[in-house]
C-alpha cells in the first residue's frame, strides 16, 4: 500500500512539473522613483503624468477617490508610493496589478505589534496583537500572514495571533482587515541569506469574485476562509501544487482562496484562488478566479472567473464569467457571461451572455443575448436576442430575431429573417395567412400559412361530401414564394396529405407538388390558382374498394404504378386572407 502511495505521489509531482507555467513577476511600481515638477494641476492630471513616466495606469472610481483638487508637486527622486501618500494624505490604499496601481479608500489604520521567538532549524514562533491606530482597540478577525511561506491565521477576540514560520532571511509579516489599510513589517531571522521572494499580485476581479458567496460557497467554505476573503480581497499568490480533503482541511489552510495552483487535487472538495493546469475533485471544486485547462468533479464545479479548456461535472458547472472550450454537466451548466465552444447537459444549459458554438441539452438551452452555431434540445431553444446558425428542438424554438434555420413543432420570433421549419412559424414580420380553396380531391379546404417568403409551412384540412363517398384530408407542407411585384408572386409548394374514407378505416396518402400563381387584390385579400402533380398511395386492406376508385376516377394524365400507387395532374384555386 505504501509503495502505491509513493508512486501516486511521484505521479502528482511529475504532472505538476509538466504543467508548471512560469509567471512574470509583477512590476514593483510603487517603489519606483520619478522626477516630477507640476504646478496648479488637478490630482487626476498628476496621476496621468506619473502613470506615463512609470509606464502603467491608475485604476480608481471617481465617485470614491476625489481627484478634482488642484495641487503643486516637485520631486527629484521620490518613490511613487511617497508621492501618493503626499497627494492623498494617507487616506487612500494602493494595490498593484500587472500594468496597474489600484487606488481605494482606507478610512481606518491598524498597527501590528509582534514578538519573535526563535526555535530549532530556523523555525520561528511569532505572536502579537493587532490594534486600531485611533482607538487602540484590539481587532478581531484580522488576517495575519507571511507571503513567502503562505502561513496565515486570524486574530482572536482579544486581537491576538500566533504563527509558526520556517524562514531563512527576512520575514515579512502582513496584516489585512476589511475597511483598514494593509500593514506589513519586516523581521530579521538569525540567518540572513538572499532568497527569491514568492510571486504575488493583486486582481480586482478576484476581489469582486462571487464564488464564495454562491449558495455552494456558503455551504462548503469555512468562516475563516470567508473572513480571509474579505480581508485580503484580490491578493493572490502562485503555488504549483495543492491538496485538500475539504476546503477547510488542505495544504494552504484558510489561505487557499488566495492561492493559484498548477495542479489541484481535492479528495472530497477544495477551494482555491484559481487553477492554471489541472484540478480534480472527488465531489466538488470551488475556485475564486480563473481556471485553465482541465477541471473535473464528481458533483459540481464553481468558478468565480473565466474557464478555459475542459470542464466536467456529474451534476453541474457554474462559471461566473466566460467559458471557452468544452463544458459538460450531468444535469446543467450555468455561464454568467458568454460561451465559446461546446456545452452539453442532461437537463439544461443557461448562458447569460452570448453563445458561439454547439449546445445540446435534454430539456432546453437558454442564451440571454445572441446565439450562433448549432443548438439542439429535447423541448426548447430560447435566445433573448438574435439566433443564427441552426436550432433543433422537440417542441419550440424562440428568439427575438431568427437568422438561421429553426426546426421545431413551433418556431417563435419577433423577426424571422431565416428559415422556420415547423408545423407553425409565428413572427411579427412573417406570414399569418388563411386560405380557403378547392381542388380535384376535396371540394372544401382551409389552410394556415406561417413563415416568410424564403420558407413557409402550410397546415391544412379538407373534406369532400358526396351522396356515396365522403373523404377527409389533413396535410402539412413547405413552400417558397418567388416575388415578381407587390401584387404578383408564384408559390412553389410541396406537401403530404392523409385521406380517410369508410369511417376513417381506409387510409390513403397523397404527396403533392404545386405551382400557384398569386394575385393580391388589396391589403387583406388575394386570389390564387395553379396546377399540381399528385402521387397517390393506398394503405387500406382493399385497394379495389369503390371509395378508393372514386378518388382516382377520371383524373387527367393518370399514371398507373401498380395496384396501390397512382399519379396524375391536378389543380387548386382559392382565396387568401392576408
Contacts of 435 (CB under 8 A, 6+ apart): 445, 446, 447, 448, 449, 528, 574, 575, 576, 577
What is the predicted pLDDT for the residue at 527? 96
HSE value, Cβ hemisphere, 13 Å, CA-based, for 576:
26
Domains in the chain (CATH in brackets) are 32-105 (3.55.50.30), 110-198 (2.60.40.10), 431-577 (2.40.160)
- Beta strands 170-176 and 200-202 are unpaired
* CA distances to 366, 368, 535, 542, 547 from 502, in Å: 47, 52, 21, 11, 8
Whole-number Å distance between alpha carbons of 503 and 470: 9
Q: Is 230 helix (H, G, I), strand (E, B) or coil?
A: helix
Which cell goes with 35? 522626477
Whole-number Å distance between alpha carbons of 291 and 301: 10
Please, are residues 47 and 6 in contact by the beta-carbon 8 Å criterion?
no
Whole-number Å distance between alpha carbons of 401 and 413: 6
Task: Please report, in tens digits, the pLDDT of each residue of the chain (578 residues total).
Answer: 445 445 444 444 444 344 333 333 344 788 888 888 888 988 889 999 998 888 898 888 877 788 888 888 888 878 888 888 888 887 788 878 778 888 887 667 777 777 766 666 677 788 888 888 778 888 888 888 887 777 888 888 888 888 888 777 677 788 888 777 777 777 755 444 334 455 556 566 665 677 777 777 778 787 777 777 777 766 777 888 989 998 888 888 878 888 899 999 999 999 988 999 999 999 999 998 899 999 999 999 999 999 999 999 999 999 999 999 999 999 999 999 999 999 999 999 999 999 999 999 999 999 999 999 999 999 999 999 999 999 999 999 999 999 989 999 999 999 999 898 888 999 988 899 999 999 988 889 999 999 999 999 999 999 887 656 677 889 999 999 999 999 999 999 999 998 877 665 667 789 999 999 999 998 889 999 999 999 988 776 555 455 556 667 777 777 877 767 888 899 999 999 98
What is the predicted pLDDT for the residue at 339? 96
Strand partners, 270: 285
DSSP per position, 250-296: ETTGGGGGGEEEEEEEESSEEEESEEEEEEEESSEEEESS-EEEEEE
Whole-number Å distance between alpha carbons of 467 and 66: 93
Q: Is 404 helix (H, G, I), strand (E, B) or coil?
A: coil
Query: 558 φ, ψ to 5°?
Result: -60, 130
Strand partners, 474: 461, 498
Residue 356's CB: how many other CB atoms inside 10 A? 18
Which cell goes with 173? 509579516
Supply the DSSP symbol for 212.
G
Whole-number Å distance between alpha carbons of 187 and 173: 7
- Beta strands 364-367 and 348-351 are parallel
Whole-number Å distance between alpha carbons of 495 and 497: 7
- Beta strands 396-402 and 380-393 are parallel
The dihedral through the CA atoms of 150, 155, 156, 161 has a sign that is positive
Residue 509 CA to its chain's centroid (Å): 47
Whole-number Å distance between alpha carbons of 168 and 123: 9
DSSP per position, 496-539: EEEEEETTTTEEEEEEEEEEEEEEE-SSSEEEEEEEEEEEEEE-
Please, are residues 250 and 236 in contact by the beta-carbon 8 Å criterion?
no
Amino acid at each position: 500500500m505504501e509503495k502505491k502511495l509513493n508512486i501516486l505521489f511521484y505521479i502528482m509531482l511529475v504532472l505538476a512539473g509538466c504543467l508548471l507555467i512560469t509567471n512574470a513577476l509583477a512590476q514593483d511600481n510603487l517603489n519606483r522613483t520619478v522626477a516630477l515638477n507640476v504646478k496648479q494641476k488637478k490630482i487626476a492630471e498628476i496621476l496621468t503624468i506619473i502613470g506615463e513616466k512609470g509606464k502603467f495606469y491608475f485604476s480608481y472610481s471617481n465617485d470614491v477617490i476625489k481627484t478634482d483638487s488642484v495641487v503643486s508637486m516637485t520631486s527629484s527622486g521620490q518613490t511613487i508610493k511617497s508621492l501618493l501618500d503626499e497627494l492623498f494624505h494617507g487616506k487612500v490604499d494602493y494595490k498593484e496589478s500587472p500594468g496597474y496601481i489600484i487606488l481605494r479608500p482606507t478610512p481606518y489604520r491598524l498597527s501590528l505589534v509582534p514578538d519573535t521567538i526563535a526555535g530549532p532549524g530556523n523555525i520561528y514562533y511569532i505572536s502579537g496583537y493587532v490594534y486600531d491606530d485611533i482607538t487602540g482597540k484590539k481587532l478581531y478577525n484580522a488576517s495575519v500572514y507571511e507571503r513567502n511561506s503562505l502561513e496565515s491565521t486570524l486574530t482572536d477576540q482579544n486581537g491576538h495571533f500566533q504563527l509558526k514560520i520556517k524562514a531563512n532571511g527576512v520575514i515579512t509579516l502582513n496584516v489585512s482587515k476589511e475597511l483598514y489599510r494593509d500593514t506589513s513589517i519586516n523581521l530579521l531571522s538569525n540567518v540572513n541569506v538572499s532568497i527569491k521572494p514568492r510571486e504575488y499580485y493583486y486582481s480586482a476581479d478576484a476581489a469582486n469574485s462571487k464564488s464564495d458567496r454562491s449558495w455552494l460557497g456558503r455551504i462548503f467554505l469555512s468562516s475563516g476562509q470567508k473572513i480571509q476573503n474579505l480581508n485580503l480581497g484580490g491578493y493572490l499568490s502562485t503555488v504549483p501544487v495543492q491538496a485538500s480533503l475539504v476546503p477547510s482541511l488542505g495544504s494552504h489552510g484558510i489561505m487557499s482562496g488566495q492561492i493559484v495552483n498548477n495542479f489541484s487535487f481535492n479528495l472530497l472538495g477544495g477551494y482555491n484562488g484559481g487553477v492554471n493546469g489541472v484540478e480534480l475533485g472527488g465531489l466538488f471544486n470551488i475556485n475564486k478566479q480563473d481556471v485553465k485547462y482541465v477541471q473535473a468533479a464528481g458533483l459540481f464545479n464553481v468558478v468565480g472567473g473565466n474557464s478555459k479548456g475542459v470542464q466536467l461535472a456529474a451534476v453541474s458547472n457554474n462559471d461566473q464569467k466566460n467559458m471557452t472550450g468544452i463544458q459538460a454537466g450531468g444535469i446543467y451548466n450555468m455561464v454568467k457571461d458568454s460561451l465559446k465552444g461546446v456545452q452539453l447537459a442532461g437537463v439544461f444549459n443557461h448562458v447569460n451572455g452570448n453563445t458561439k458554438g454547439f449546445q445540446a441539452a435534454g430539456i432546453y438551452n437558454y442564451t440571454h443575448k445572441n446565439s450562433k452555431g448549432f443548438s439542439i434540445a429535447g423541448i426548447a431553444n430560447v435566445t433573448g436576442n438574435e439566433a443564427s446558425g441552426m436550432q433543433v428542438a422537440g417542441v419550440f424554438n424562440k428568439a427575438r430575431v431568427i437568422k438561421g434555420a429553426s426546426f421545431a413543432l413551433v418556431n417563435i420570433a419577433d423577426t424571422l429573417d431565416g428559415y422556420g421549419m415547423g408545423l407553425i412559424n409565428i413572427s411579427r414580420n412573417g406570414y399569418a395567412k388563411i386560405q380557403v380553396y378547392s381542388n380535384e380531391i376535396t371540394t372544401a379546404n382551409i389552410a394556415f400559412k406561417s413563415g416568410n417568403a424564403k420558407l413557409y409551412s402550410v397546415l391544412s384540412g379538407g373534406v369532400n361530401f358526396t351522396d356515396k363517398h365522403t373523404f377527409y384530408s389533413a396535410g402539412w407542407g413547405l413552400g417558397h414564394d418567388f416575388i415578381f411585384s407587390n401584387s404578383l408572386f408564384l408559390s412553389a409548394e410541396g406537401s403530404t396529405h392523409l385521406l380517410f374514407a369508410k369511417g376513417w378505416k381506409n387510409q390513403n396518402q397523397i404527396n403533392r407538388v404545386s405551382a400557384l400563381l398569386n394575385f393580391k387584390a388589396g391589403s387583406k385579400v388575394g386570389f390564387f390558382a395553379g396546377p399540381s402533380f399528385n402521387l397517390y398511395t393506398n394503405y387500406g386492406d382493399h385497394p379495389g374498394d369503390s371509395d378508393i376508385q372514386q378518388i382516382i376516377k377520371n383524373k387527367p394524365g393518370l399514371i398507373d404504378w401498380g395496384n396501390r400507387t397512382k399519379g396524375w395532374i391536378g389543380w387548386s384555386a382559392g382565396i387568401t386572407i392576408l
